[in-house]
Structure 1
Amino acid sequence: MNNSVTKFILLGLTQDGDKQKVIFAIFLVLYLMTLLGNFVILVTIKTSQTLGSPMYFFLFYLSFADACFSSSTAPRLIVDSLSQKKIISYEECMTQVFAAHFFGCMEVFVLILMAFDRYVAICKPLRYTTIMSQRVCGMLVSLAWVGSCIHSSAQIALALQLSFCGPNVIDHYFCDLQPLLKLACMDTYVINLLVVSNSGAICMVSFITLLISYAVILYSLRSHSREGRQKALSTCASHFTVVVIFFVPCIFIYMRPATIFSVDKIVAVFYTIGTPLLNPLIYTLRNSEVKSALKKLLCGITSVDT
């Protein structure tokens, strides 16, 4: 599609100079915490002898997806908060659309795999090691990578169909399909319908699937011992918290026509920056095995230094 627009201007979260400085400081700290938290989980799982179960195998990829997902939007928000003109080229914009949807979709699929793992562990404990073998887990993660690539490729294909002839001001802090649709100088009804049926459907169907799976898990816990029930509930509560924080904002953004609301940017902050930051905290603070492995890792590092 031929375009007379070769670059876009991002408005960011605010146009107020003083507020932009505050945004720079806050989101720089949050982003660094996100990278540190997810890096710690990656290293802990990779080096620990006790975190070899499929749940932690999937948690490893969730942390990787979190770090990459946050990196697809947060660095530009941080840099732009100190810039007078927040300019992004057309090529960089398309790259950001692809990266954000690829790693966002990867997170969706990994969350589904983690829910499936908990379902098998709780509802079919005698067949758990057979069903969730290392080979099967590897295949499931590979399918998640392929599915994410297909989704993001579809999104970028839709974005490349849009024709821009001005204006070129995006009322957001990163490039995404919804704000781009508002700038296109063409009929975007069909493309918007495809965006909703793609991103929106993935979010909604995945969310409903996860809710059903956790409902089945909770129902099956009736026959477990009190100790086993409490441990399973603690694990599922962590997973469910992540699911709600991630999916509710996504559904709000993508399950609707190309209409921009004033709260969109704040809502987007929750799933692009908030969730990748909270995941390491949720999975470490509520998981005794991860905390124990982390302590061993830190003790090992300390002993080497001394």
Structure 2
Amino acid sequence: MGNADQNESDVIFILLGFSDYPELQIPLFLVFLVIYIITVVGNLGMIVTIRFNPKLHTPMYNFLCHLSFIDFCYSSVITPKLLQILVVEDRTISFAPCITQYSFASICVVTEAFLLAVMAYDRFVAICRPLLYVVVMSQKRCALMLTAVYIWGMISTGIFLYSLLILSFSGTKIINNFLCEYSAILSASTSDKHVTETILFILANFNTFFTLIIVLTSYAFIFVTVLKMHSATGRYKAFSTCASHLTAVTIFYGIILFLYCLPSSKISWLLVRVNTVFYTVVISMLNPLIYSLRNKDVKEAIRKLLEMPARWCSG
């Protein structure tokens, strides 16, 4: 740890971003700026909508409220720096801001993965064990699950962070992307990386596949239960309550598995950057849109919220 402290102040990272496409810098800046504005408005709007509508004070919408909060935080950690490097010549970032960006982004990613798993479990209980739903998903138990999700996000990131900070760093390193991520920071180290890489492999795979197993298992039971329903209306209602979450989960894990499970030799750096954009920037914008467009309760709550100023003016 001491060696790292002595030279980490001299470490400089250069975020290449999309600098190899100079003619696209301004168009990309405008596109990402619009995406960020929609993300902020959409996620904060979702939080306000849920908090101000008593009808939405249920476990499912409480989890959705936290998902919107995490998406807002994640986008705010990544997108401002992306916008900056698109319009300025200086794309350097020192060690401390780089490790800070990585830390907050990691907390958001791990927390979101486990929150999506908790939301899948919530749908499993609602559809497969409806008579026990109020007991199983009590306010106290939901609070405990949410607390556990946030705590594990911080613990997991703390382990990742410790595994990096025990290394020694020096020199200027190029990151062929627009954000500070684990492997890029690791490449700047002059120490033996075997232990750190082992920690990354074990913990990252645990987080990904443990949460994915919970999601897949929950939906396997949901699918079987729905197929056994005799009423077509009941089947439609059950599937409709899961549609938004299933869409969000498919996009989230689909991009993660594409990015990290395919050999790097099979995909170009441009494709990696494009997928990273979807993973870090676009998903945070899509989630509130998916839930607001596919959920009748949320659409109705948004409509009522938008009508409030008109009612105040007329009153």
Work out whether 1:285 is the aligned partner of 2:293: yes
Assess if the C-alpha contact under 8 Å between 1:31 and 1:70 holds in 2: yes
Partner of 2:219: 214
SS at match of 1:3: helix
Taking the aligned partners of 2:257 and 2:187, their CA distance within structure 1 comes to: 19
Partner of 2:187: 182
1:201-248 superposed Cα distances (whole Å, 9 cap, x missing partner): 311221232112111111111233321211221222221111121112
Structure 2 residues not aligned, in runs of 5+: none
Taking the aligned partners of 2:278 and 2:197, their CA distance within structure 1 comes to: 23
Taking the aligned partners of 1:237 and 1:77, their CA distance within structure 2 comes to: 32
Task: Please tell me the residue identity of whatever aligns with 2:126.
Answer: A
Assess if the C-alpha contact under 8 Å between 1:221 and 1:229 holds in 2: yes
Work out whether 1:296 is the aligned partner of 2:301: no
SS at match of 2:56: coil
Shift of 1:255: 4.8
Deviates more, 1:69-78 or 1:161-170: 161-170
What percent identity do the matched residue pairs reach? Answer: 37
Partner of 2:44: 39
Task: Please tell me the residue identity of whatever aligns with 1:6.
Answer: V
1:119-164 superposed Cα distances (whole Å, 9 cap, x missing partner): 0000111111111111111111111111111011112112213332
Assess if the C-alpha contact under 8 Å between 2:12 and 2:95 holds in 1: yes
Partner of 1:88: 93
Partner of 2:57: 52
SS at match of 1:8: strand
Partner of 2:176: 171
Shift of 1:256: 7.3
Alignment of 1:1-306 (within 5 A): 1=4, 2-3=6-7, 5-224=10-229, 225-255=231-261, 261-262=268-269, 263-306=271-314
Deviates more, 1:136-145 or 1:185-194: 185-194
Task: Please tell me the residue identity of whatever aligns with 2:7.
Answer: N
Calculate the TM-score normalised by the size of structure 1.
Answer: 0.94
Taking the aligned partners of 1:11 and 1:253, their CA distance within structure 2 comes to: 19
Higher fraction of helix: 2
Assess if the C-alpha contact under 8 Å between 2:36 and 2:75 holds in 1: yes
Deviates more, 1:160-169 or 1:97-106: 160-169
Aligned residues: 306
Assess if the C-alpha contact under 8 Å between 1:196 and 1:257 holds in 2: no
